[in-house]
Amino acid sequence: MSIIVGYLPSPEGTAALEAAITQARKDAKLLVVINSSRGDALVDKRYAENEEIAGIEERLKKEGIEHLVQQPVRGNDAASEVLQAAEQHRADLIVIGLRRRTPVGKLIMGSTAQQILLEAGCPVLAVKAAHQS
Amino acid sequence: MDVFSSLMDGFATALTPMNFLYAVIGVVLGTAVGVLPGLGPAMTVALLLPVTYVLEPTSAFIMFAGIYYGGMYGGSTTSILLNTPGESSSVVTAIEGNKMAKAGRAAQALATAAIGSFVAGTIGTALLAVCAPIVVKFAVSLGSPSYFAIMVLALLAVTAVLGSSRLRGFASLGLGLAIGLVGMDSVTGQARLTFGQPLLSDGLDIVVVAVAIFAVGEALWVAAHLRRTPLHIIPVGQPWMGKEDWKRSWKPWLRGTVLGFPFGALPAGGAEIPTFLSYVTEKRLTKHPEEFGKGAIEGVAGPEAANNAAAAGTLTPMLALGLPTNATAAVMLAAFTSYGIQPGPQLFESEGPLVWALIASLFIGNFLLLVINLPLAPLWAKLLQLPRPYLYAGILFFATLGAYSVNLQAFDLVILLVLGALGFMMRRFGLPVLPLILGVILGPRVEGQLRKTLQLSAGDPAGLWSEPIAVGIYVIVAIILAWPLLLKAWRRSRPQAEPAFAGMPATSEADPDRTDAGGANPHPFDDRDLDTTRNTAAGRQERP
């Protein structure tokens, strides 16, 4: 049993990761961090840099959480990567970050969060970015 | 004064609102394709060839010239921020440029590249305006035998001197000449390589060939390598330079210009060799040798100036002799032909206003590029986040549309696909594209000069070397062809001379090709070449 978190180098992604760490600490479960890219553009901001991934791994190690950090580049979109990982690790919780999308933006680009919410076979915890004070 | 007044007339034509608009479209498009690795000005001009059917020649060429110069500017942005050269001519820029960016000096690197390009482009264009008429004056006195010899030299030089493998170069040239042969013989009216297919008797349309090789071939190649780990771009603000940067940049700019222009103008020039030479020169002359390899501004300023000066140089033989020396110039020459304009020494005479407007538009384009590149560099870098499937789907769409619009016959689409597959295979097996496209475009004209020469001499082959200039050029051709053998013999006679090469057979193999064109000490330059091409996505690309 495990917790899957979809991670992006953004405030939403960080918030999701924080929430997932809290959950994992409480339940002492395997935490799987997924940061994927379709890999079809030369530059993808959503794909975390090596140093960043190393930082996350180090932190998880320090907290004593059993973890797995994956960066799949297989031409799939983020939603299907997260769902696939959830199935593979028999997840009992998926954690994702939400951000505000305009209706038009959602119509054109679709919504990764929506796809995960609709298709996930387990509870999904959706968090928003921490409010700037 | 004659050149000056013609140039002023050219400015008057190029600055009309419509032509100015095309110049803007050209430089914006050119910068965009320059920034994107894999897309080059040659492909863009090829895709736009069909518009020549509706556009006035002057407007079309002003746009093409903008694309050509823009490509040279755009390539440096990707080199510096991503360490992936957008164009083959900015491979060297990546060496120091990316190091500078990593050290937090991306803004200065971009600024010295853009301003250096502007300086070199302006000086180069001025040299073009001065030199081209002189070359024309000399060229009109040439007869068919000399002209034939010059074209043979250009074809051989591009094939044998550039690129890593002569065999692959000649294979590619052979393919190009064969494609150029298809159709009716111009003198006897016999059908050649038509396989009884009446649709082939008019020959293959150059638009279809160029679009297939550049656009379809490249799109298939990219589709075959679509997925890769995304890279990270180095964030950058407004490009700017401090006083110290100016002080260290202006000399490399001028030296780069001096190296770039003549190499661009030579038949085997291209923009790569002068950029390497400029890098080596700057490395040797610098007062800050400790910074080289860690991000020296001279290593960006020199090569960037060199590649823009080479771009201007390339246009000299293209306009004055009708002799293209790189892929973009070759495709532009095809555009001349599609307007029914005869390229060659008579071009300045018969199409004077067009040529001078073109040269004037180069000055304008250069200025526009400085204006749109300096403040907008971070914006251009955003283009790299474009998902490539959309990009290449669009390219394939325009390629198909363009190929079909030439003759409105479905048969051209079959040819497009067949030649596109050929373009893909050539990339797969490392065959350079440039000799092929030069073979297709120059082949029929070489044949025309050969037939004319032989008709004048009543079929006597001695007519081929009846002019002293022709004889001189054949001597150069012979030297180029025999160079590897000569070098090998020389090495054998002095086996102790270069012990460093004993353990590096691969390097010494590629060496002779380079030495001939380089002229300077080839060794650091060659190592550098191998170094950079290894991590180059676009290195195998067409020469812009």
Q: Please name which of B415, B404, B413 lies closest in space to residue B194, comparing C-alpha atoms.
A: B415
Residue B474 lies in a domain: yes
Residue B481 lies in a domain: yes
Q: How many CA atoms lie within 13 A of B26 on its CB side?
A: 30
Residue A133 lies in a domain: no
SS3 assignment for A91-132 = EEEEEEEECCCCHHHHHHHCCHHHHHHHHCCCCEEEEECCCC
Whether the CA torsion B78, B80, B84, B87 is positive or negative: it is positive
- Chain center to CA of A62: 20
Residue A61 lies in a domain: yes
Task: Check whether B260 has a pLDDT greater than 60.
Answer: yes
CB nearest B387 (choices: A41, A47, A73): A41
Residue A82 lies in a domain: yes
Better-scored residue on pLDDT, B230 or A110:
B230
Q: Do B388 and A42 touch (CB under 8 A)?
A: yes
Nearest CA in chain B to A47: B230
Average pLDDT over residues B338-342: 85
Q: Please name which of B328, B283, B275 lies closest in space to residue B533, comparing C-alpha atoms.
A: B275
A126: its two tokens: 């959706």
Better-scored residue on pLDDT, A22 or B542:
A22
CB nearest B227 (choices: A40, A43, A47): A40
| Residues of chain B contacting A36 with CB distance shorter than 8 Å | none
Average pLDDT over residues B127-144: 88
Beta partners for residue A93, in sequence order? A3
Q: What is the pLDDT of residue B495?
A: 62
Q: Please name which of B226, B187, B284, B168 lies closest in space to residue B521, comparing C-alpha atoms.
A: B284
SS3 assignment for B453-508 = HHHHCCCCHHHHHCCHHHHHHHHHHHHHHHHHHHHHHHHHHCCCCCHHHCCCHHHH
Q: Do B232 and A42 touch (CB under 8 A)?
A: no
Residue B445 lies in a domain: yes
H or E segment and range at residue B95 = helix B91-102
A72-111 CB burial, b ≥16 within 10 A, e <16: bbeebebbbbbbbbbeebebbbbbbbbeeeeeeeeeeeeb
- The region that residue B104 occupies, defined by phi over 0 for left and psi between -120 and 50 for alpha, beta otherwise, is left
Task: Check whether B539 has a pLDDT greater than 60.
Answer: no
Judged by a CB distance cut-off of 8 A, whether residue B233 touches chain A is: yes
Residue B269: CB partners within 8 Å, gap ≥ 6?
Answer: B262, B263, B310, B313, B314, B325, B326
CB nearest A74 (choices: B84, B227, B384): B227
Q: Do A42 and B82 touch (CB under 8 A)?
A: yes
Count up the domains in chain B and report the number.
1
Q: What is the pLDDT of residue B426?
A: 92
Q: What is the pLDDT of residue B269?
A: 62
Count up the domains in chain A and report the number.
1
Judged by DSSP in three states, B191 sits in strand
Per-residue pLDDT tens over the stretch A33-86: 998 888 778 888 888 888 888 999 999 998 888 899 988 888 888 889 999 999
Q: What is the pLDDT of residue B496?
A: 55
- For residues B12 and B359, the answer to whether their CB atoms sit within 8 Å is no
CB nearest A43 (choices: B227, B232, B389): B232
Average pLDDT over residues B143-160: 86
Q: Do A41 and B384 touch (CB under 8 A)?
A: yes
Q: Give the pLDDT band (50/70/90) at residue B193.
A: confident
Q: Do B385 and A45 touch (CB under 8 A)?
A: yes
Q: Nearest CA to CA, how far is A108 from chain B (Å)? A: 14
| Residues of chain A contacting B233 with CB distance shorter than 8 Å | 43
Q: How far is A66 from A56, CA to CA, in rounded Å?
A: 13
Task: Check whether B524 has a pLDDT greater than 90.
Answer: no
Residue A104 lies in a domain: yes
Q: What is the pLDDT of residue B397?
A: 92
Q: Nearest CA to CA, how far is A85 from chain B (Å)? A: 19
Interior angle at CA A27, CA A22 and CA A30, nearest 5:
85
Q: How far is B438 from B174, CA to CA, in rounded Å?
A: 10
Q: Please name which of B139, B105, B378, B114 lies closest in space to residue B237, comparing C-alpha atoms.
A: B378
* One-letter amino acid for residue B68 of the chain: Y
Task: Say which range, B87-96, B161-170, B490-499, has the weakest mean pLDDT.
Answer: B490-499
Tokens 């460093």 -> residue: B500
Residue B542 lies in a domain: no
Burial category of B469 from C-beta neighbours within 10 Å (exposed 0-12, middle 13-18, buried 19 and up): middle
Domain extent for B418: 2-142+151-229+237-534
Helices and strands in chain A: count of H runs, count of E runs: 5, 5
Cα dihedral B432, B433, B438, B444, rounded to 10, equals 110
Q: What is the pLDDT of residue B123?
A: 94
Q: Please name which of B2, B15, B1 lies closest in space to residue B357, comparing C-alpha atoms.
A: B15
H or E segment and range at residue B183 = strand B183-184
State the DSSP code for B383: G
For chain A, the residue count is 133
A65: its two tokens: 């959480």
Cα dihedral B331, B334, B336, B339, rounded to 10, equals -130
- Chain center to CA of B512: 22
Q: Give the pLDDT band (50/70/90) at residue B268.
A: low
Residue B544 lies in a domain: no
Interior angle at CA B164, CA B283 and CA B327, nearest 5:
90
User: Which candidate in A43, A52, A73, A76 is best for mutational testing of the B interface (most B CBs within 10 A)?
Assistant: A43
Residue B92 lies in a domain: yes
Residue B338 lies in a domain: yes
Per-residue pLDDT tens over the stretch B433-467: 888 998 998 888 899 889 888 888 888 888 888 88
Residue B138: CB partners within 8 Å, gap ≥ 6?
Answer: none
Per-residue pLDDT tens over the stretch B15-69: 899 999 999 999 999 999 988 887 888 899 999 988 877 888 899 999 999 999 9
| Residues of chain B contacting A44 with CB distance shorter than 8 Å | 230, 385
Residue B420 lies in a domain: yes
Q: How far is A129 from A124, CA to CA, in rounded Å?
A: 16
Q: What is the pLDDT of residue B532?
A: 36
CB nearest B227 (choices: A39, A43, A49): A39
Task: Check whether B407 has a pLDDT greater than 50.
Answer: yes
Q: What is the pLDDT of residue A131?
A: 60
Q: What is the pLDDT of residue B413?
A: 93
Q: How far is B436 from B94, CA to CA, in rounded Å?
A: 28
- For residues B317 and B265, the answer to whether their CB atoms sit within 8 Å is yes
- For residues B107 and B240, the answer to whether their CB atoms sit within 8 Å is yes
Q: Do B386 and A45 touch (CB under 8 A)?
A: no
Task: Tell me the pLDDT of chain B averaged across its residues.
Answer: 82
- For residues B149 and B390, the answer to whether their CB atoms sit within 8 Å is no
Judged by a CB distance cut-off of 8 A, whether residue B85 touches chain A is: no
Say which CATH number the domain at A38 has. 3.40.50.620
Per-residue pLDDT tens over the stretch B350-384: 888 899 999 999 999 999 999 888 888 888 888 88
Give the pairing of strands A91-98 and A67-70.
Answer: unpaired
Q: What is the pLDDT of residue A109?
A: 66
Q: Nearest 5°: phi and psi at B192?
A: -120, 130
Q: Nearest CA to CA, how far is B38 from chain A (Å)? A: 11
Task: Say which range, A38-52, A114-128, B119-133, B493-507, has the weakest mean pLDDT.
Answer: B493-507
Q: Please name which of B541, B543, B536, B542 lies closest in space to residue B98, comparing C-alpha atoms.
A: B536
Q: Do A42 and B229 touch (CB under 8 A)?
A: no
- For residues B183 and B203, the answer to whether their CB atoms sit within 8 Å is yes
Task: Check whether B175 has a pLDDT greater than 90.
Answer: yes
Q: What is the pLDDT of residue B119?
A: 93
Confidence (pTM): 0.81
For chain B, report the end-to-end CA distance as a whole number of angstroms.
33
Helices and strands in chain B: count of H runs, count of E runs: 22, 2
Task: Check whether B12 has a pLDDT greater than 60.
Answer: yes
Q: The complex's ipTM? A: 0.73
Q: Nearest CA to CA, how far is B78 from chain A (Å)? A: 11
Domain extent for A98: 2-128
Residue B161: CB partners within 8 Å, gap ≥ 6?
Answer: B268, B480, B513, B516, B517
Per-residue pLDDT tens over the stretch B55-109: 888 999 999 999 999 988 888 888 888 887 777 788 888 888 888 888 888 888 8
Q: Give the pLDDT band (50/70/90) at residue B538.
A: very low
